[in-house]
Amino acid sequence: MSTCEASEVTNSNGHGKKPSPITVDPISLKKQRSAAAGGKMRDFVINGHNGSTESESPKTPKTPRTSTTPGHENCSFHHDMELDHKPPTREDLIPNMSSAYKELIASLGEDPERQGLLKTPERAAKAMLFFTKGYDQTIEEVLNDAVFDEDTDEMVIVKDIEMFSMCEHHLVPFYGKVSIGYLPNRKVLGLSKLARIVEVFSRRLQVQERLTKQIAEAVLKAIEPRGVAVVCEGVHMCMVMRGVQKINSKTVTSSMLGEFRENSKTREEFLSFCSGHK
């Protein structure tokens, strides 16, 4: 045990008084100092920058996180103001979207408070979220490991898959059908997964040309076949309801990869199945 004298203090009358010596346990003192240092170190780690010992909110990090930040390589979403950097759920988006639709209705000269329009903003917000639900899906999720080893190399075709999408130029629908063919390379894909791939990319703001290419590239990546062919036929309401107003017009796009691009006979066989065999 060691002895140390406390500093002189002033009593309520203003007169100095020297207290009696007190004893201090050096082991206890060492523990207290260690605990204090540990608290400062925790503050340092939490706040994430040198010299800070303030208790700041963990929801206001000092530096932004990106996909190149260590530990965040596989993150699909980053937000500087969110420590868990999770994207908002679909339901979280409804209030702001509803408010925007309400303002749009009012801008058209309508009364958003009248009975027929009272719940329209919320309905429209939910509908738009459904139309664009492909943003919440990935190819890995929809395939769900439905890739199978098969000793076959003959053409596989799934035709006339219904497709509904939204034109990114006017935010009006376009719809139609998609036919997909591929030449297996000892691997086949569950047939329903081809339709699901179409759904993932069509349920977004799109142009038909990009949609067709994305479907073909997704199949190519999933099973690495010798070739992939996609033909998409669509009716665009931006040409039917407005603009030139041609109600019978259809747009056809195609994407040919691998042997379908290199071999004209293979390509013709696929196209004949798509158009000639109903």
Enumerate residues 6+ apart whose C-beta is below 8 A from 230. Answer: 178, 179, 180, 181, 212, 213, 215, 216, 219, 254, 255
Question: What token pair was written down for 110?
Answer: 């309508």
Is 122 designated active site?
A: no
Catalytic residue among 78, 82, 224, 238: 238
Catalytic residue among 5, 110, 169, 262: 169
Q: Where are the beta strands (DSSP E) in 91-196?
A: 147-149, 156-167, 173-183, 187-189
Residues 155, 258: Cα–Cα separation, whole Å: 13
Catalytic residue among 168, 209, 262, 268: 168
Is 208 designated active site?
A: yes
Q: Which residue has the tokens 């201090």?
A: 24
Catalytic residue among 233, 236, 259, 274: 236
Phi and psi dihedrals of 52, rounded to 5? Answer: -95, 125
Is 170 designated active site?
A: yes
Is 168 designated active site?
A: yes
> Helices 120-131 and 90-107, interaxial angle, to 10°?
120
Is 49 designated active site?
A: no
Q: Which residue has the tokens 């639900």?
A: 133
Catalytic residue among 208, 214, 232, 259: 208
Catalytic residue among 167, 206, 214, 233: 167
Catalytic residue among 56, 122, 170, 269: 170
Indicate which residues carry an active-site annotation.
167-170, 208, 236, 238
